[in-house]
Amino acid sequence: MNNNELSCNVLVVGSGGAGLRAACEACAQGASVILVSKGRVNRSGATLLAGANVSADVMCDGASLWRMGVASADPTDSPERWASDILCEGFFLNRTDLVEQYVSQAPARVEELLKAGANVTAADEGGRQIGVPGSSILDVLFRKASASDRLTVLQDTTLCGILPAADGSAAGALLLDIPGGRLISVRAGAVVLATGGMHGCYTFNSGTTGLCGEGHAAAMRMGARMSLMEMVTFCPDVICAPSRFRGSILPYILQCMGYGHLENRLGEDFLSKYLSPGAVELALGSEWNKLLLSYAMYREAQAGLCDEHGGVRFSLRGLTPARRAELEETLPQLRRGIYAELMALHDRQGGLSVSAAGHYFDGGIAVSADMATSVPGLFAAGECTGGLFGANRVAAATTQMLVQGAQAGQSAARFALSAGPRTPDPAALEQLRAEVLAPFSCTGGESPRRLRSEVSEIISRSAGIVRCERDMLLGLQQLAQTDRPVTLSQKERAANRGWLDYLEARSLRACGEAILRCSLARRESRGVFMRSDYPMTDNDGFLCETVLQNGKVSLHGITQPAAEPGRFDYFDYLERVFLRLSYAPEVTVQ
Amino acid sequence: MDELVVTITRGDACARRTCEYRLPALPGASVMDVLDYIYENLDPTLSYFSHEACRQSACGKCLVRVNGKVCLACGCPAGAGPLVLEPWNEHVVRDLLCE
Ligand SMILES: Cc1cc2nc3c(=O)[nH]c(=O)nc-3n(C[C@H](O)[C@H](O)[C@H](O)COP(=O)(O)OP(=O)(O)OC[C@H]3O[C@@H](n4cnc5c(N)ncnc54)[C@H](O)[C@@H]3O)c2cc1C
């Protein structure tokens, strides 16, 4: 055995909150664990950027939070009430077993975070949440994981594919050490995918650069079942220019706290052009703002009323000096570093150019409540999974990664320790190696960078905020045409960015095809999913889970008594469902 | 047209050389944006940290020496140049990518 061949009980891929939490749990169960991270083990993924690394909401039912001593929490809340809200927020497509697990295990996960000394920001976050910077969550989890001598960490190492045993179960993975250019094959008793979202599918996104759906793509190549892949959440108020600040969601965080307003390039308020008065209230005063504001921004762009960067203006100009001072007091981070520069730029320009960016992926790898995928030995946790939040996530994804991470670590360790060591099929390993190394022996192919950009441009165009059949069919056709040979300018394997572009393009293409196939099958609009050619929410025809497996989509009906039969105007239905939430303010929406 | 002149120390710890690139001025760009521009348009063999970058001064992985001073490529404004970019430490993997 050498450095290029490793073995362990549990291989965890990804070291955001889900991967770190899974690694902690698997070690605690007595498993030997290899934790692989594409970036820095304690500073990568969306977890790092959660809440713009100022204050990410971490949620738990109010009664449990109150018991933990959080004064702003609502002691009359309950896990059941929270679960029923999550179903409404998800427009009834949620996997109820996952929702139940989420609400029932959230208290334990949040409490351990607090006990381990996570840095709770002073901000009063209301009835069900506390605020913690993403980096503090990572610090707490990494400290705990590194305390175990059963853990081995591989940083700057990317997943190329999962290795099947002869019976098709997961038996390890092929990895690439990025700086060294070495391929590493790992034999594992079980594999946990915790690779986060598919942000790279969108040219404009809020994630870190490494989030390219590589876990999703690897699972699909193993024949895993995928759930609700069409559901993509966009974050409005993401900075589009200047490029130095592009992708920052700070304006969104400020808007959620009630600061700032939006206007088009003519200085006009535009929300009321596209949203009813009730929906405007939800867009400005509730966590349903992501989908409503993104929709309004999309329409404003279609109407040609955006600036030269494709954005609208987010501005704090209307704040009184006292409110502005209050803001800076609440968020002292605005007075230092990159955010101080951003605020200075805002003040010079009177605003910031913002637009809606690919942000959170509600759909993903299908899992049961023990976090097992449909492939034996393969588990998944966090944002790379699908189904918990149905058609719209309002509740915290941070809590999702903690709950699911812990569960996946436990299930994978038990599986690995009872099933014993597994052997990857040598033929499958050879085939994967050949595929991964293909661009080194290809001459006359294209630039991998150009191909990767082409892939994300196609997905952005055809699978954006509002979709239609014609664009999606064209998108699928164009994506298929991007499956062309590439040639690398740099021939050495070490630190070869072109090689990574090739690998990422391959995963992004698979994810884009999955998003488009599932989107085509859903002929309605619901939650974050909107179609111009099917604008109604259709509980008669599409109260169902879109399942993708081996390239084929099937629709599986959902029995959900809370969802009334019928077809509804999308916005009417949205307001109607909102009214059923336990936190709906009774007076605002008629 | 305004031009940005960028000199980059390349190669590994044993064999270093400098390369000069001339690119159009990129208003509002960071040093990371400049490196991306060079990689995408001028020289696809350039190595620097980009494979899992936050681009928001949070991950701390994209350190480079810019005109003699070590800073995060994503957080450092490129300005009008000229820029001299070097590896930030002695443990060079290739070009600007260090261990
Ligand atoms: C800007 C931003 C703000 C957010 N704010 C909030 C918030 O306030 N509240 C909230 O609840 N949610 C928020 N979210 C969502 C939430 O942060 C994420 O859903 C959650 O952190 C995902 O955790 P994860 O561990 O599943 O994935 P991630 O944290 O994304 O981690 C993925 C990991 O996988 C690694 N990886 C990826 N590909 C590979 C590969 N090929 N090989 C090896 N490793 C790989 C990455 O390097 C990383 O370590 C926000 C998201 C963003 C982008």
The answer to whether the pTM exceeds 0.90 is yes
Query: Do the Cβ atoms of B52 and A490 come within 8 Å?
Result: no
Q: Give the end-to-end CA distance of chain B in Å, rounded to a whole number.
A: 37
Cα torsion angle, A137, A138, A139, A142, sign: positive
User: Would you state the pLDDT for residue A1?
Assistant: 46
Among candidate residues B65, B72, B80, B68, the one with its CA nearest the CA of residue B29 = B80
Among candidate residues A523, A531, A549, A551, the one with its CA nearest the CA of residue A462 = A531
Ligand 1 atom at minimum distance from A158 CA: 42
Q: Which residues pair with B70 in a beta bridge?
A: B65
Give the residues surrounding ligand 1 with Cβ less than 6 Å away. A 13-19, 36-39, 44-47, 49-51, 56-57, 158-159, 194-197, 206-207, 210-211, 214, 249, 359-360, 382-383, 396-398, 401; B 52
Cβ-nearest to A208 among B33, B53, B93 = B53
Q: Which chain A residues touch B26 with a CB distance below 8 Å? A: 243
Q: Mark which residues 559-578 of A lie under 8 Å from B by CB.
A: none
Burial of A494 (0-12, 13-18, 19+ CB in 10 A): middle
Q: What is the CATH number of domain B3-98?
A: 3.10.20.30
Cβ-nearest to A242 among B28, B40, B93 = B28
Q: Would you list which residues of chain B are within 8 Å, Cβ to Cβ, of chain A?
A: 26-30, 33, 39-40, 44-47, 50-61, 74-75, 77, 93-95, 97, 99
pLDDT in tens, B48-75: 999 999 999 999 999 999 999 999 999 9
What is the nearest CA distance from A158 to chain B, expressed in angstroms?
9
Q: How far is CA A168 from the centre of its chain?
A: 28
Name the residue at shortest CA distance from atom 14 of ligand 1: A50
Tens of each residue's pLDDT in chain A, 590 residues? 467 999 999 999 999 999 999 999 999 999 999 999 999 999 999 999 998 888 899 999 999 999 999 888 999 999 999 999 999 999 999 999 999 999 999 999 999 999 999 988 755 566 899 999 999 999 999 999 999 999 999 999 999 999 999 999 999 999 999 999 999 999 999 999 999 999 999 999 999 999 999 999 999 999 999 999 999 999 999 999 999 999 999 999 999 989 999 999 999 999 999 999 999 999 998 889 999 999 999 999 999 999 999 999 999 999 999 999 999 998 899 999 899 999 999 999 999 999 999 999 999 999 999 999 999 999 999 999 999 999 999 999 999 999 999 999 999 999 999 988 789 999 999 999 999 999 999 999 999 999 999 999 999 999 999 999 999 999 999 999 999 999 999 999 999 999 999 999 999 999 999 999 999 999 999 999 999 999 999 999 999 999 999 999 999 999 999 999 999 999 999 999 999 999 887 654 44
Amino acid identity of B74?
A: C
Spell out the residues 6+ positions from residue A559 whose beta carbon is closer than 8 angstroms to its own: none
Q: Which chain A residues touch B94 with a CB distance below 8 Å? A: 179, 492, 494-495
Query: Do the Cβ atoms of B58 and A135 come within 8 Å?
Result: yes
Q: Are B24 and B1 in contact (CB under 8 A)?
A: yes
Q: Which chain A residues touch B44 with a CB distance below 8 Å? A: 447, 449, 489-490, 497-498
Report domain extents, chain B: 3-98
Report how far residue A160's alpha carbon sits from residue A174's, in angstroms, rounded to the nearest whole number. Answer: 5
Q: How far is CA A50 from the centre of its chain?
A: 11
Nearest chain A residue to B46 by CA: give it.
Answer: A497
Report how far residue A195's alpha carbon sits from residue A510's, in angstroms, rounded to the nearest whole number. Answer: 15
Nearest chain A residue to B99 by CA: give it.
Answer: A179
Amino acid identity of A418?
A: S
Among candidate residues A206, A306, A324, A196, the one with its CA nearest the CA of residue A257 = A324
Query: Do the Cβ atoms of A48 and B47 come within 8 Å?
Result: no
Among candidate residues A220, A157, A162, A158, the one with its CA nearest the CA of residue A188 = A162
Q: Which of A24, A47, A53 to mutate to test the pocket of ligand 1 (most atoms within 8 A of CB)?
A: A47
Nearest chain B residue to A207 by CA: give it.
Answer: B54
